[in-house]
Amino acid sequence: MLAFEQQVLADLVEDPNGGLVVLSSGLPLASLAATLLLHLHQTPGNAAGGGCLLVLSATDTLKARIRRRLQDKLQVHDVPPDLAAQQRATLYASGAALFLSPRALAADLLTSRLLPSRVQALLLLSAHRSTDTSSDAFICRLLRQRNLLPVYAFSDCPHAMVAGFSKAERTMKSLYVRRLHLWPRFHVLAAADLERAPPDVVDVRVPMTPPMRGIQAAVLATMDACLKELRRTNKVDVEDLTVDKGLFKSFDEIVRRQLDPIWHTLGKKTKQLVADLRTLRKLLDYLVRYDAVTYLKYLDTLRVSEGVRSVWILADSSHRIFELAKRRVYQAVRTDGVNVSIDNKGTPTKKRKVAHNSTKKGKVTGSCSWPLHLQVPTLRRLILMWALYWKRFWRRHRNGKCYGNCCKR
């Protein structure tokens, strides 16, 4: 371990109630968590059966780094949410170190499947996401009611700890910790260790493909449409809400900071617009991070999970996002093996009626001059139009005001 890592752990373990450690982005969070787990496991109290070590809010990448750091010194079991309750109780009784999800742990504490006296320490690896109403704060409250165990919270997102009013203070209050340890990159000990072996930075810039630029433009247009709807509420500062600021990570905090005092008075549509802006900003971020297949899969997941209540999916520019995402993965090929281009911009086309030809066997064959990606939105509009028509018809029919003579009989 480096000298500043040893100092971080020494300051953290000094307080028996734990503390909150805020690291600069890029500092070895996995190494600190692994060393702390090994230190707690080797203490005399835990060796005599002091309890299990619980690790919350750890991503898959962070779990792999912690296991690689520990090697064979300590085995950390992964407890998925769908694991049987009896198997979870067996792992709790063994006193091992466990990776848990907050929802499963809260359920086990409420059902007394895990007693607070059987827990030695609690580690939180994403403390910047903890709020007064989060699952992490609820778990800390349940554990601290019966057992004054230490809570060691870590965060490697310092920009998230300054969002809002007294974010760090409110986070410490929700996690029941009293000491805050700040370790920026320019700290004396950290800077001295990092300057000994400076990394070789290689800047590789890959240009975006035309479909990616089209998706980016469509997402920005959809964000602009959502911002226009959000401006109509007259409850948000219009000057701060621009598409340019929507590209930064602090945009969500800016909007939420303005709406936080009146959040309970806002309607469902306004709250959904704020959530849609967060989703659209993720789409821009994932566009340069994910491959084409993973990005299309993520879009299909959003369509299924948020298709009913989302506002941005109903925008005209959102169809362009799904269309270009499919074009990055699929390519139309004719039977003779020649690729078919579905981009008809700049080429004159004529609208033609669909010609149906009935054969002797009763099969119907037809051809349409419109591409498939233009037919789907048109069909969707027709379905919505007919649904609205029949809804109005039956409403008037129930009231005896239909257009025909059926209600006069």
pLDDT per position as a tens digit, 367-406: 444 444 444 455 556 676 677 667 666 666 666 655 555 5
Share of the chain above pLDDT 70, in %: 75
Q: Could you tell me how many residues make up the chain?
A: 409
Average pLDDT over residues 136-164: 85
Beta-bridged to residue 367, according to DSSP, are 355
The pLDDT tens digits for 127-136 are 888 888 888 8
Average pLDDT, the chain: 79
Distances (CA, A) of 214 to 261, 342, 361: 37, 14, 45
Beta bridge partners of residue 180, listed in sequence order: 20
pLDDT by residue (tens digit) across 68-89? 998 888 888 888 888 888 888 8
In which band, very low, low, confident or very high, does the pLDDT at 365 lie, cut at 50, 70 and 90? very low
Q: Residues near 189 by Cβ (< 8 Å), separated by ≥ 6? A: 3, 4, 7
Show the beta-strand stretches assigned E in 184-238: none
Residue 168 has pLDDT above 90, yes or no: no
Q: Express as a percent the part of the chain with pLDDT over 90.
A: 18
Alpha-carbon gap, residue 147 to 133, rounded angstroms: 21
Selected residue with higher pLDDT from 366 and 146: 146
199, two tokens: 């990394």
Which one-letter amino acid corresponds to residue 401?
K
pLDDT of 174 higher than 70: yes
Those residues with Cβ within 8 angstroms of residue 389's Cβ, 6 or more apart along the chain or in another chain: none
Q: What is the distance, to the nearest Å, from the Cα of residue 161 to the centroid of all Cα atoms in its chain?
A: 18
This prediction has a pTM of 0.62
How far apart, in Å, are the Cα atoms of 27 and each of 8, 33, 125, 184, 202? 12, 12, 13, 9, 19
pLDDT at 146 over 80: no
Is pLDDT above 70 for 336?
A: no
Mean pLDDT value of segment 165-181: 88
What does the alpha-carbon distance between residue 228 and residue 238 come to, in Å, rounded to a whole number? Answer: 9
Q: Under DSSP, is residue 157 helix (H, G, I), strand (E, B) or coil?
A: coil
197-242 per-position pLDDT tens digit: 888 888 888 889 999 999 999 998 888 888 888 777 766 665 666 7
Angle between helices 135-146 and 167-175 (to 10 degrees): 40
CA distance 93 to 108: 13
Picking from 95, 101, 91, 170, the residue whose alpha carbon sits closest to that of residue 139 is 101
pLDDT at 132: 84
pLDDT category at 357 given cuts 50, 70, 90 is very low
Taking residues 27-54, report their average pLDDT. Answer: 80
| Residue-level pLDDT at 55 | 93
**Residue of 269, 303, 268, 254 whose CA lies nearest to 283:** 303
